[in-house]
Protein backbone atom coordinates (compact mmCIF):
# COMPACT_ATOMS: atom_id res chain seq x y z
CA UNK A 1 0.00 0.00 0.00
CA UNK A 2 1.54 3.27 -1.16
CA UNK A 3 0.49 6.51 0.48
CA UNK A 4 -0.86 9.14 -1.88
CA UNK A 5 -1.74 12.53 -0.43
CA UNK A 6 -5.49 13.31 -0.42
CA UNK A 7 -6.69 15.62 -3.20
CA UNK A 8 -6.46 19.34 -2.64
CA UNK A 9 -9.67 21.23 -1.91
CA UNK A 10 -10.69 23.59 -4.75
CA UNK A 11 -8.95 26.96 -4.48
CA UNK A 12 -6.54 25.70 -1.79
CA UNK A 13 -3.82 28.19 -0.95
CA UNK A 14 -0.24 27.73 0.27
CA UNK A 15 -0.20 28.28 4.03
CA UNK A 16 3.22 29.94 3.80
CA UNK A 17 2.90 32.43 0.91
CA UNK A 18 -0.83 32.25 -0.04
CA UNK A 19 0.12 31.17 -3.58
CA UNK A 20 -1.68 28.33 -5.35
CA UNK A 21 -1.66 25.24 -3.13
CA UNK A 22 -0.07 22.24 -4.90
CA UNK A 23 0.89 19.81 -2.16
CA UNK A 24 -1.11 18.70 0.84
CA UNK A 25 0.74 17.30 3.86
CA UNK A 26 -1.80 15.65 6.19
CA UNK A 27 0.83 14.74 8.81
CA UNK A 28 1.70 18.45 9.13
CA UNK A 29 -1.88 19.60 8.56
CA UNK A 30 -0.70 22.04 5.90
CA UNK A 31 -0.69 22.87 2.20
CA UNK A 32 2.21 24.30 0.18
CA UNK A 33 2.79 25.72 -3.30
CA UNK A 34 5.60 23.96 -5.21
CA UNK A 35 8.31 26.49 -4.23
CA UNK A 36 7.41 26.43 -0.53
CA UNK A 37 7.23 22.63 -0.64
CA UNK A 38 10.77 22.41 -2.08
CA UNK A 39 11.90 24.78 0.68
CA UNK A 40 10.13 22.63 3.30
CA UNK A 41 12.07 19.55 2.11
CA UNK A 42 15.41 21.40 2.02
CA UNK A 43 14.77 22.80 5.50
CA UNK A 44 14.08 19.28 6.80
CA UNK A 45 17.50 18.16 5.53
CA UNK A 46 19.23 21.32 6.80
CA UNK A 47 17.71 20.62 10.24
CA UNK A 48 19.06 17.06 10.19
CA UNK A 49 22.55 18.24 9.18
CA UNK A 50 22.53 20.82 11.98
CA UNK A 51 21.35 18.26 14.54
CA UNK A 52 24.23 15.93 13.61
CA UNK A 53 26.76 18.79 13.50
CA UNK A 54 27.83 18.23 9.87
CA UNK A 55 29.54 21.45 8.68
CA UNK A 56 29.14 22.70 5.08
CA UNK A 57 32.83 22.01 4.35
CA UNK A 58 32.33 18.26 4.84
CA UNK A 59 32.89 16.26 1.65
CA UNK A 60 30.04 13.80 1.28
CA UNK A 61 29.93 10.60 -0.74
CA UNK A 62 26.32 9.99 -1.74
CA UNK A 63 25.29 6.40 -2.45
CA UNK A 64 22.92 6.72 -5.42
CA UNK A 65 20.73 3.94 -6.74
CA UNK A 66 18.86 6.14 -9.23
CA UNK A 67 15.64 5.88 -7.19
CA UNK A 68 13.68 8.91 -5.95
CA UNK A 69 15.20 9.02 -2.46
CA UNK A 70 18.88 8.90 -3.37
CA UNK A 71 18.49 11.44 -6.19
CA UNK A 72 16.45 13.74 -3.92
CA UNK A 73 19.02 13.67 -1.11
CA UNK A 74 21.82 14.32 -3.58
CA UNK A 75 19.92 17.27 -5.07
CA UNK A 76 19.03 18.75 -1.68
CA UNK A 77 22.59 18.51 -0.29
CA UNK A 78 23.86 20.14 -3.47
CA UNK A 79 21.22 22.91 -3.15
CA UNK A 80 22.28 23.44 0.47
CA UNK A 81 25.89 24.02 -0.66
CA UNK A 82 27.54 20.73 0.39
CA UNK A 83 30.34 19.31 -1.78
CA UNK A 84 29.06 15.96 -2.96
CA UNK A 85 30.12 13.11 -5.17
CA UNK A 86 27.76 10.34 -6.25
CA UNK A 87 28.73 6.71 -6.20
CA UNK A 88 26.62 3.99 -7.78
CA UNK A 89 26.93 0.28 -7.08
CA UNK A 90 25.91 -1.73 -10.15
CA UNK A 91 24.37 -4.93 -8.80
CA UNK A 92 23.95 -6.64 -12.16
CA UNK A 93 20.18 -7.18 -11.88
CA UNK A 94 18.82 -7.50 -15.42
CA UNK A 95 17.06 -4.33 -16.69
CA UNK A 96 16.74 -2.88 -13.16
CA UNK A 97 20.48 -2.10 -13.00
CA UNK A 98 20.49 -0.58 -16.53
CA UNK A 99 17.56 1.66 -15.57
CA UNK A 100 19.35 2.69 -12.35
CA UNK A 101 22.50 3.75 -14.18
CA UNK A 102 20.47 5.68 -16.73
CA UNK A 103 18.68 7.67 -14.02
CA UNK A 104 21.89 8.49 -12.14
CA UNK A 105 23.67 9.54 -15.33
CA UNK A 106 20.80 11.76 -16.45
CA UNK A 107 20.49 13.47 -13.05
CA UNK A 108 24.26 13.97 -12.56
CA UNK A 109 24.71 15.54 -15.98
CA UNK A 110 21.66 17.82 -15.47
CA UNK A 111 23.33 19.23 -12.29
CA UNK A 112 26.94 18.81 -13.49
CA UNK A 113 27.79 16.66 -10.45
CA UNK A 114 30.71 14.20 -10.24
CA UNK A 115 29.90 10.50 -9.92
CA UNK A 116 31.13 7.05 -10.79
CA UNK A 117 29.62 3.59 -11.12
CA UNK A 118 31.23 0.43 -9.72
CA UNK A 119 30.13 -3.07 -10.52
CA UNK A 120 29.91 -5.82 -7.90
CA UNK A 121 31.10 -8.17 -10.65
CA UNK A 122 34.49 -6.39 -10.46
CA UNK A 123 34.67 -6.99 -6.69
CA UNK A 124 33.29 -10.52 -6.62
CA UNK A 125 33.33 -11.87 -10.14
CA UNK A 126 29.56 -12.50 -9.75
CA UNK A 127 26.40 -10.42 -10.22
CA UNK A 128 23.29 -10.59 -8.01
CA UNK A 129 21.44 -12.32 -10.89
CA UNK A 130 24.15 -14.99 -10.96
CA UNK A 131 24.36 -15.37 -7.17
CA UNK A 132 20.63 -15.78 -6.55
CA UNK A 133 20.13 -19.27 -8.05
CA UNK A 134 23.34 -20.49 -6.37
CA UNK A 135 22.46 -19.72 -2.75
CA UNK A 136 19.79 -20.67 -0.22
CA UNK A 137 20.34 -17.49 1.80
CA UNK A 138 18.13 -14.43 1.41
CA UNK A 139 19.38 -12.56 -1.64
CA UNK A 140 18.56 -9.23 0.03
CA UNK A 141 20.81 -9.92 3.01
CA UNK A 142 23.64 -10.96 0.65
CA UNK A 143 23.04 -7.91 -1.54
CA UNK A 144 23.02 -5.64 1.53
CA UNK A 145 26.32 -7.06 2.85
CA UNK A 146 28.02 -6.66 -0.55
CA UNK A 147 26.74 -3.07 -0.96
CA UNK A 148 27.90 -2.13 2.56
CA UNK A 149 31.34 -3.52 1.99
CA UNK A 150 31.68 -1.91 -1.44
CA UNK A 151 30.60 1.49 -0.12
CA UNK A 152 33.07 1.25 2.80
CA UNK A 153 35.85 0.38 0.42
CA UNK A 154 34.95 3.09 -2.12
CA UNK A 155 34.81 5.73 0.63
CA UNK A 156 38.30 4.78 1.83
CA UNK A 157 39.71 4.60 -1.72
CA UNK A 158 38.15 7.93 -2.76
CA UNK A 159 39.10 9.68 0.50
CA UNK A 160 35.62 10.28 1.98
CA UNK A 161 34.86 10.02 5.69
CA UNK A 162 31.05 10.11 5.39
CA UNK A 163 28.64 8.12 3.22
CA UNK A 164 25.12 9.49 2.74
CA UNK A 165 22.16 7.26 1.92
CA UNK A 166 18.60 8.09 0.89
CA UNK A 167 16.74 6.25 3.67
CA UNK A 168 13.56 8.17 4.44
CA UNK A 169 11.13 8.38 7.36
CA UNK A 170 9.11 5.38 6.11
CA UNK A 171 12.28 3.26 5.87
CA UNK A 172 13.42 4.21 9.36
CA UNK A 173 10.01 3.87 11.03
CA UNK A 174 9.50 0.50 9.27
CA UNK A 175 12.91 -0.74 10.38
CA UNK A 176 12.24 0.33 13.96
CA UNK A 177 8.86 -1.42 14.04
CA UNK A 178 10.36 -4.56 12.47
CA UNK A 179 13.09 -4.66 15.14
CA UNK A 180 10.57 -4.11 17.95
CA UNK A 181 8.22 -6.80 16.61
CA UNK A 182 11.07 -9.33 16.62
CA UNK A 183 12.66 -7.93 19.80
CA UNK A 184 15.96 -7.42 17.96
CA UNK A 185 17.38 -5.14 20.66
CA UNK A 186 20.94 -5.58 19.36
CA UNK A 187 20.02 -3.36 16.36
CA UNK A 188 18.46 -0.52 18.35
CA UNK A 189 21.69 1.51 18.56
CA UNK A 190 22.21 1.27 14.80
CA UNK A 191 18.76 2.82 14.29
CA UNK A 192 20.17 6.33 14.80
CA UNK A 193 20.25 8.33 11.49
CA UNK A 194 23.88 9.33 12.02
CA UNK A 195 26.50 6.73 12.92
CA UNK A 196 30.00 8.15 13.44
CA UNK A 197 32.90 6.19 11.97
CA UNK A 198 33.71 3.25 14.32
CA UNK A 199 36.86 2.12 12.44
CA UNK A 200 39.39 3.76 10.08
CA UNK A 201 38.09 1.59 7.23
CA UNK A 202 34.40 2.23 7.98
CA UNK A 203 33.12 5.75 7.16
CA UNK A 204 30.40 7.56 9.11
CA UNK A 205 26.86 6.77 7.84
CA UNK A 206 24.36 9.58 7.43
CA UNK A 207 20.62 9.49 6.58
CA UNK A 208 19.57 13.15 6.18
CA UNK A 209 16.09 12.24 4.79
CA UNK A 210 14.86 10.62 8.01
CA UNK A 211 12.47 13.56 8.57
CA UNK A 212 10.75 13.22 5.14
CA UNK A 213 8.12 10.69 4.10
CA UNK A 214 8.30 8.58 0.98
CA UNK A 215 5.38 10.35 -0.73
CA UNK A 216 6.96 13.74 0.05
CA UNK A 217 10.16 12.66 -1.71
CA UNK A 218 8.19 11.46 -4.72
CA UNK A 219 6.63 14.92 -4.89
CA UNK A 220 10.03 16.57 -4.36
CA UNK A 221 11.39 14.80 -7.46
CA UNK A 222 8.33 15.86 -9.44
CA UNK A 223 8.59 19.55 -8.49
CA UNK A 224 12.41 19.61 -8.85
CA UNK A 225 12.23 18.00 -12.34
CA UNK A 226 14.15 14.89 -11.29
CA UNK A 227 13.45 11.68 -13.22
CA UNK A 228 14.22 8.72 -10.93
CA UNK A 229 14.02 5.21 -12.34
CA UNK A 230 10.58 3.69 -12.12
CA UNK A 231 11.66 0.04 -12.10
CA UNK A 232 11.58 -1.97 -8.91
CA UNK A 233 14.01 -4.70 -8.06
CA UNK A 234 12.47 -8.07 -9.07
CA UNK A 235 13.71 -9.58 -5.78
CA UNK A 236 11.98 -7.01 -3.56
CA UNK A 237 8.60 -8.78 -3.75
CA UNK A 238 7.49 -10.38 -0.52
CA UNK A 239 10.26 -8.84 1.63
CA UNK A 240 8.99 -8.57 5.22
CA UNK A 241 10.20 -4.95 5.48
CA UNK A 242 7.63 -4.00 2.81
CA UNK A 243 4.80 -5.61 4.78
CA UNK A 244 5.77 -3.70 7.94
CA UNK A 245 5.78 -0.44 5.96
CA UNK A 246 2.35 -1.25 4.55
CA UNK A 247 1.02 -1.75 8.08
CA UNK A 248 2.42 1.63 9.12
CA UNK A 249 0.87 3.29 6.05
CA UNK A 250 -2.51 1.83 6.97
CA UNK A 251 -2.23 3.45 10.40
CA UNK A 252 -1.02 6.69 8.80
CA UNK A 253 -4.17 6.98 6.65
CA UNK A 254 -6.35 6.67 9.77
CA UNK A 255 -4.08 8.72 12.05
CA UNK A 256 -1.90 11.18 10.07
CA UNK A 257 1.45 11.79 11.77
CA UNK A 258 1.69 8.27 13.29
CA UNK A 259 4.94 7.34 11.51
CA UNK A 260 6.58 10.63 12.44
CA UNK A 261 5.51 10.42 16.10
CA UNK A 262 6.62 6.80 16.34
CA UNK A 263 10.12 7.42 14.98
CA UNK A 264 10.71 10.82 16.56
CA UNK A 265 9.57 9.73 20.02
CA UNK A 266 12.04 6.85 19.79
CA UNK A 267 14.91 9.14 18.70
CA UNK A 268 14.13 11.86 21.24
CA UNK A 269 16.94 12.21 23.82
CA UNK A 270 19.05 9.61 22.01
CA UNK A 271 22.57 10.41 20.84
CA UNK A 272 24.71 8.88 18.07
CA UNK A 273 26.18 5.64 19.44
CA UNK A 274 29.91 5.77 20.19
CA UNK A 275 31.06 2.38 18.96
CA UNK A 276 34.77 1.73 18.84
CA UNK A 277 35.65 -1.16 16.55
CA UNK A 278 39.26 -0.12 15.98
CA UNK A 279 40.41 -3.47 17.43
CA UNK A 280 38.50 -5.38 14.74
CA UNK A 281 40.85 -7.50 12.64
CA UNK A 282 41.17 -7.18 8.85
CA UNK A 283 40.07 -9.85 6.38
CA UNK A 284 43.06 -11.87 5.20
CA UNK A 285 41.85 -11.76 1.61
CA UNK A 286 40.49 -8.26 0.99
CA UNK A 287 41.52 -6.16 4.02
CA UNK A 288 37.94 -5.27 5.03
CA UNK A 289 37.20 -5.07 8.79
CA UNK A 290 35.99 -8.47 9.95
CA UNK A 291 35.43 -10.46 13.17
CA UNK A 292 36.62 -13.61 11.40
CA UNK A 293 39.90 -14.25 9.53
CA UNK A 294 37.95 -14.10 6.23
CA UNK A 295 35.04 -11.62 5.84
CA UNK A 296 31.54 -12.76 4.85
CA UNK A 297 31.85 -11.39 1.30
CA UNK A 298 35.15 -13.21 0.64
CA UNK A 299 33.66 -16.39 2.18
CA UNK A 300 30.69 -16.10 -0.22
CA UNK A 301 33.04 -15.51 -3.15
CA UNK A 302 35.03 -18.65 -2.25
CA UNK A 303 31.81 -20.73 -2.13
CA UNK A 304 30.65 -19.37 -5.49
CA UNK A 305 34.06 -19.76 -7.14
CA UNK A 306 34.17 -23.41 -6.02
CA UNK A 307 31.00 -24.02 -8.06
CA UNK A 308 32.13 -22.08 -11.13
CA UNK A 309 31.71 -24.11 -14.26
CA UNK A 310 28.77 -26.10 -12.87
CA UNK A 311 25.54 -25.61 -14.87
CA UNK A 312 23.26 -22.89 -13.50
CA UNK A 313 20.71 -24.46 -11.10
CA UNK A 314 17.17 -24.49 -12.47
CA UNK A 315 14.79 -22.01 -10.85
CA UNK A 316 12.61 -23.57 -8.12
CA UNK A 317 8.87 -24.02 -8.47
S1 LIG B 1 15.47 -5.68 -3.16
FE2 LIG B 1 16.99 -5.98 -4.78
S3 LIG B 1 18.38 -4.24 -4.60
FE4 LIG B 1 17.22 -4.35 -2.68
S5 LIG B 1 18.51 -5.57 -1.32
FE6 LIG B 1 17.07 -7.00 -2.31
S7 LIG B 1 18.21 -7.75 -4.10
FE8 LIG B 1 19.28 -5.91 -3.40
ZN1 LIG C 1 4.05 29.07 -1.03
ZN1 LIG D 1 37.25 -10.08 2.62
**Which atom of ligand 1 is nearest to 132's Cα?**
7
The answer to whether the CB of 171 falls within 8 A of the CB of 178 is no
pLDDT, tens only, 4-41: 667 788 889 999 999 999 999 998 999 999 999 999 99
Å from CA of 235 to ligand 1 middle: 6
Residue-level pLDDT at 14: 97
Burial class (CB in 10 A: 0-12, 13-18, 19+), 273: middle
Expressed in angstroms and rounded, the spacing between residue 33 Cα and the centre of ligand 2 is 4
Q: Is 144 in the pocket of ligand 1 (CB under 6 A)?
A: yes
Cβ atoms of 194 and 205 closer than 8 Å = yes
Q: Is the CB of 128 under 6 A from ligand 1?
A: yes
Residue 69 lies in a domain: yes
pLDDT at 316 over 60: no
In a domain, 299, yes or no: yes
Q: Is 4 inside a domain boundary? A: no
Judge whether 136 lies within some domain.
yes
HEC profile of 144-157? HHHHHHHHHHHHHH
Question: Within a domain: residue 238?
Answer: yes
The answer to whether position 1 is within a domain reads no
For ligand 1, say whether the CB of 236 is within 6 Å of any of its atoms.
Answer: yes
User: 199 C-alpha to center of ligand 2: Å?
Assistant: 45
Enumerate residues with CB within 5 Å of ligand 3 (an ion). 283, 285-286, 288, 295, 298
- Domain contains 16: no
The full DSSP string for 79-131 is HTT-EEEEEEEE---HHHHHHHHHHHHHHHHHHT--EEEEEHHHHHS--HHHH
Closest residue by CA, ligand 1 atom 1: 236
Per-residue pLDDT tens over the stretch 115-174: 999 999 998 999 999 999 999 898 999 999 999 999 999 999 999 999 999 999 999 999
**Residue 239 domain-assigned (yes or no):** yes
Domain of residue 248: give its range. 48-270+280-306
293 close to ligand 1 (CB < 6 Angstrom) = no
Pocket-testing residue among 139, 141, 166, ligand 1, by greatest number of atoms within 8 A of Cβ: 139
Residue 228: give its domain's CATH number.
Answer: 3.40.50.620
* Rg of the chain (C-alpha set): 20
- Please tell me the distance from the alpha carbon of residue 94 to that of residue 115, in angstroms, as a whole number: 22
Q: What count of other Cβ atoms lies within 10 Å of the Cβ of residue 115?
A: 19
Structural domains counted in the chain? 1
Length of the chain: 317
- 75-97: average pLDDT: 96
pLDDT-derived band at 249, boundaries 50, 70, 90? very high
Split at pLDDT 50, 70, 90, the class of 188 is: confident
Amino acid sequence: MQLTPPPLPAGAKCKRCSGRGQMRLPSHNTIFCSDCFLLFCRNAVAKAMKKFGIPRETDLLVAVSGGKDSLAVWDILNELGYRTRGVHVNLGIDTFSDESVRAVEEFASSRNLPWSSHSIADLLGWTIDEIRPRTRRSICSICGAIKRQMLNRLAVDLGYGTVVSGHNLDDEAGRLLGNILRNRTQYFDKQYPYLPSPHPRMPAKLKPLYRLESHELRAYCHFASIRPHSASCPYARGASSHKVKEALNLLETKMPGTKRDFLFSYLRNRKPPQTDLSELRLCEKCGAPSWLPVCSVCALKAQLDAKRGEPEPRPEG
